[in-house]
Amino acid sequence: MSLPFAAIIVIIIALVAGALALSAFIWAIRTKQFSIEQLNRGALLIFDDDEPVGTPQDMVFTDNSTHGKKEDEKAG
């Protein structure tokens, strides 16, 4: 039984996709993306010292407004 051309193409593509997914997973393990240490601090990545945990970010608008004012002043 011979496979239609489209089926051969799709099977090859599926194998490549599977290999990519597997290599991404292996990469993640090798770089310790799932280590306990990284998982414990991963959630804190979106915060830093001037946007810390405990500060609602939509209530603060100081950085850019100050920066903008400085530029405005420079522009005269």
Partner 1 sequence: MAKKKTKKPADPHGEFRGQRTEADQERRIVIDDAARTPTVLYFGSGIFWLLVGSLFGIIASLKFNLPDWLGSSAALTFGRIRPAHLNTVMYGWASLAGAGMIVWLTARLCRIQLQLAWVHYLAVILWNLGVLAGTVAILAGYNQGMEWLEFPRFAGAMIAVGFLLFAASIIQTFRKRNVDHLYVSLWYILASMIWFPFLYVVANLGIYQGVIQAAMNWWYGHNALATWFTPIGLAGAYYFIPKVIGRPIYSYYLGLLGFWAFALFYNWNGIHHLVGGPLPTWLVTVSIVASVMMVVPVMAVAVNHHLTTVNHFRMLKFSPTLRFVVIGSMCYTAVSVQGSLESIRSFQEVAHFTHYTIGHAHLGVYAFLSMILFGAIYYIMPRLARWEWPYPGLIKAHFWMSIAGIGIYVIALTVGGWFQGVQLNDPAIPFMDVVEYTKVYLWARSIGGALMVVSHFIFAFQFVMIIKHAGPRRFAPALFRESAPMQREEREP
Q: How far apart are CA 34 and CA 45, in angstroms?
A: 15
Q: How far apart are CA 61 and CA 4, in angstroms?
A: 60
Report the DSSP beta bridge partners of residue 48. Answer: 51
21 contacts partner 1 (rule: CB under 8 A): yes
57 contacts partner 1 (rule: CB under 8 A): yes
26 contacts partner 1 (rule: CB under 8 A): no
Torsion sign across C-alpha atoms 21, 22, 28, 34 = positive
Which of residues 1, 2, 30, 62 is near partner 1 by CB under 8 A? Answer: 62
76 contacts partner 1 (rule: CB under 8 A): no
Instruction: Name the residues that contact partner 1, by CB under 8 A.
Output: 4-7, 9-10, 13, 17, 20-21, 24-25, 31, 33-34, 38-65, 67-68, 71
